């Protein structure tokens, strides 16, 4: 068995010119998280692994992303890109200070599962000095080929441009991900040359060097989709689709009902409880959790929100960051909520904006209610006590407090606190002028005729 936590080396120095972006390739997102973030999260879940990340020069934003997700990682800068072996050797000080396994991952390959990395380590435990992650390619054109012996051991990895016609017929291909258990990886990699079509130092050449030294190499296979490397926006969309399919399946297996799964989009950190029902065309941004038994109706968008057990939300509802819905809350169509807490059984059924509020249990917020929370400079809070009733087309001008079981009449603009169990009305006196409408229409018709004549 492995004697110590592994060293994970993540290669993140690629420029990603095919992305046609001012943004480094590895910072482009899948399910709301950068590809680099996905790989850092994978590494963080591996037996307290030590982490080294290789980036390119002038990649301060990439370094910041590393610090955000893995503050303990060592960062190394590859000044000139001369191949994958050269990239790994950029982290030489980390390699030389480490006595255990070394696993090399890529920041543009965000779909690899922790079970696959575990399988690589199991191959090392079974006696291999090098374990290579491979896959059967639907179309192997462009991939390095894994050349195996009759006993299944790996002889060499041949890059496509350097492969013979016979070798190119091999469909077992290299993902680029490798695991090593050798006495000194930096010494092995230092022996790699660049006599190849691209004049680069290929990490894959370590297999042939190791074999010459009596080190056994083996292949661990995984599905082709799992090792999709992202080099273009087209492949980024493919990775998003694959990730979403995986997340939808997991949600359903865990007990949620997705009426039309292909129309539901999750974020990397979405949490969905049991017996949740999600109707079509729902988007979950970052930081959303949905408790057991909630019902999410069609065409909703959420981010930074907690939805309580048995709540009903939508259709066409928007929950923004800081929203906290208690159990059995009902949020209806065209309601937007931000930075607000709604207690058990509270309702806002249609056409309302609730911002910076504290709403007690059983509160009813009528249609067209607006929380006027911003004065042009500062945000202010609205507090509504348990059981209060807010009539339709009401404006609550914060800061303001509505007491327990109070009533606010429809059409009111409330600027002062309302005591518990009181009725608050703010309206002009209704006035009627008999015959005014007929006189007005006659006058306007004469003006229009004079103008067109």
Cβ neighbors of 217 (< 8 A, separation 6 or more) are: 128, 129, 130, 131, 132, 153, 154, 155, 207, 210, 211
Alpha-carbon distance 286 to 229, whole Å?
A: 24
pLDDT of residue 342 exceeding 70, the answer is yes
Alpha-carbon distance 385 to 90, whole Å?
A: 61
pLDDT tens, residue by residue, 376-387: 999 999 999 999
Alpha-carbon distance 96 to 255, whole Å?
A: 47
Alpha-carbon distance 157 to 134, whole Å?
A: 10
Helix (H) or strand (E) holding 304: none
Alpha-carbon distance 73 to 9, whole Å?
A: 10
pLDDT of residue 434 exceeding 80, the answer is yes
Alpha-carbon distance 221 to 243, whole Å?
A: 19
Alpha-carbon distance 83 to 194, whole Å?
A: 9
Residues 102-111: what's their mean pLDDT? 97
Whole-angstrom CA distances from 56 to 5, 61, 62, 93 are 26, 11, 9, 17
Residue 429, pLDDT score: 85
- Tell which CATH classification among 3.40.50.2300, 3.40.50.920, 3.90.550.10, 3.40.109.10 matches the domain 7-227: 3.90.550.10
Residue 3, pLDDT score: 53
The residue ranges of DSSP E strands in 113-266, in sequence order, are 130-136, 145-148, 154-158, 172-180, 217-221, 257-258, 264-265
Interior angle at CA 304, CA 302 and CA 307, nearest 5: 65
pLDDT band, residue 345 (cuts 50/70/90):
very high
Contact 401, 381 (CB under 8 A): no
pLDDT of residue 106 exceeding 50, the answer is yes
Q: How many residues does the chain have?
A: 453
**Catalytic residue, candidates 38, 69, 350, 380:** 350
- Give 198-218 as a DSSP string: T----GGGHHHHHHHTT--EE
Question: Mapping DSSP to helix (H, G, I), strand (E, B) and coil, where does residue 140 land?
Answer: coil
Alpha-carbon distance 353 to 46, whole Å?
A: 44
Q: Determine the straight-line distance between the first and last CA of the chain, rounded to whole angstroms.
A: 99
Alpha-carbon distance 274 to 290, whole Å?
A: 9
pLDDT band, residue 1 (cuts 50/70/90):
very low
pLDDT of residue 2 exceeding 70, the answer is no
Residues 264-291: what's their mean pLDDT? 98
Contact 405, 421 (CB under 8 A): yes
Higher pLDDT, 260 or 157: 260
Contacts 24+ apart (CB under 8 A), 395-401: 395/369, 395/370, 396/369, 396/370, 396/371, 396/372, 397/372, 398/356, 398/371, 398/372, 398/373
In the chain, where does the domain assigned CATH 2.160.10.10 lie? 233-424
- Mean pLDDT score across all residues of the chain: 94
Count of beta carbons in the 10 Å neighbourhood of residue 51: 22
In the chain, where does the domain assigned CATH 3.90.550.10 lie? 7-227
Alpha-carbon distance 11 to 189, whole Å?
A: 15
Residue 350 falls in the annotated catalytic set: yes
**Superfamily classification of domain 233-424:** Hexapeptide repeat proteins (2.160.10.10)
Residue 425, pLDDT score: 95
pLDDT of residue 4 exceeding 80, the answer is no
Interior angle at CA 343, CA 339 and CA 348, nearest 5: 75
pLDDT tens, residue by residue, 197-238: 788 899 989 998 999 999 999 999 999 999 999 999 999 999
Closest CA to 367 of 382, 353, 384: 353
pLDDT tens, residue by residue, 367-424: 999 999 999 999 999 999 999 999 999 999 999 999 999 999 999 999 999 999 999 9
Question: What's the pTM?
Answer: 0.91
pLDDT of residue 176 exceeding 60, the answer is yes
Can you read off the two tokens belonging to residue 357?
């509020």
DSSP class of 379:
B
Cα dihedral across residues 138, 142, 146, 150: positive or negative? positive
DSSP class of 418:
B
pLDDT tens, residue by residue, 66-85: 999 999 999 999 998 889 99
Residue 17, pLDDT score: 86
């Amino acid at each position: 068995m492995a004697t110590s936590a592994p060293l994970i080396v993540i290669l993140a120095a690629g420029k990603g010119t095919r992305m046609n972006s001012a943004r480094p390739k590895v910072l482009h997102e899948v399910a709301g998280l950068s590809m680099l973030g996905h790989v850092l999260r994978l590494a963080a879940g591996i037996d307290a692994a030590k982490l080294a990340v290789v980036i390119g020069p002038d990649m301060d934003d990439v370094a910041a992303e590393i610090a955000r997700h893995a503050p303990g990682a060592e960062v190394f800068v590859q000044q000139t890109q001369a191949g994958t072996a050269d990239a790994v050797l950029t982290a030489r000080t980390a390699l030389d200070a480490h006595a255990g396994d070394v696993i090399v991952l890529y920041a543009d390959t965000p779909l690899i599962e922790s079970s696959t990395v575990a399988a690589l380590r199991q191959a090392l435990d079974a006696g291999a000095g090098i374990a290579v992650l491979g896959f059967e390619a639907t179309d192997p054109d462009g991939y390095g080929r894994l050349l195996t012996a009759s006993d299944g051991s790996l002889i060499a990895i041949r890059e496509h441009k350097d492969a013979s016609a016979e070798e190119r017929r091999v469909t077992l291909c290299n993902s680029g991900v490798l695991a090593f258990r050798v006495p000194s990886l930096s010494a092995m990699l230092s022996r790699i040359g660049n006599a190849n079509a691209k004049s680069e130092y290929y990490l894959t050449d370590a297999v042939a060097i190791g074999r010459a030294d009596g080190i056994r190499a083996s292949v661990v296979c995984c599905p082709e989709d799992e090792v999709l490397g992202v080099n273009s926006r087209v492949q980024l969309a493919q990775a998003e689709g694959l990730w979403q399919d995986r997340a939808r399946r997991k949600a359903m297996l865990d007990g949620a009902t997705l009426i039309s799964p292909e129309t539901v989009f999750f974020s990397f950190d979405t949490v969905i409880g049991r017996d949740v029902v999600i109707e079509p065309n729902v988007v979950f941004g970052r930081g959303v959790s949905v408790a057991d038994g909630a019902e999410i109706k069609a065409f909703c968008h959420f981010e930074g929100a907690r939805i309580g057990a048995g709540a009903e939300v939508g259709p066409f509802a928007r929950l923004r960051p800081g929203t906290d819905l208690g159990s059995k809350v009902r949020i209806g169509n065209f309601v937007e909520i931000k930075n607000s807490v709604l207690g058990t059984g509270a309702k806002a059924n249609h056409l309302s904006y609730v911002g910076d509020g504290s709403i007690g249990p059983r509160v009813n917020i009528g249609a067209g209610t607006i929380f006027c929370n911003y004065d042009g400079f500062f945000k202010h809070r609205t507090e509504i006590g348990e059981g209060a009733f807010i009539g339709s087309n009401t404006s609550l001008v914060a800061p303001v407090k509505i007491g327990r079981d109070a009533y606010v009449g429809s059409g009111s603009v409330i600027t002062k606190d309302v005591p518990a169990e009181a009725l608050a009305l703010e309206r002009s006196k209704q006035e009627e002028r008999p015959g005014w409408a007929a006189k007005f229409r006659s006058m306007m018709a004469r003006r229009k005729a004079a103008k067109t004549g």
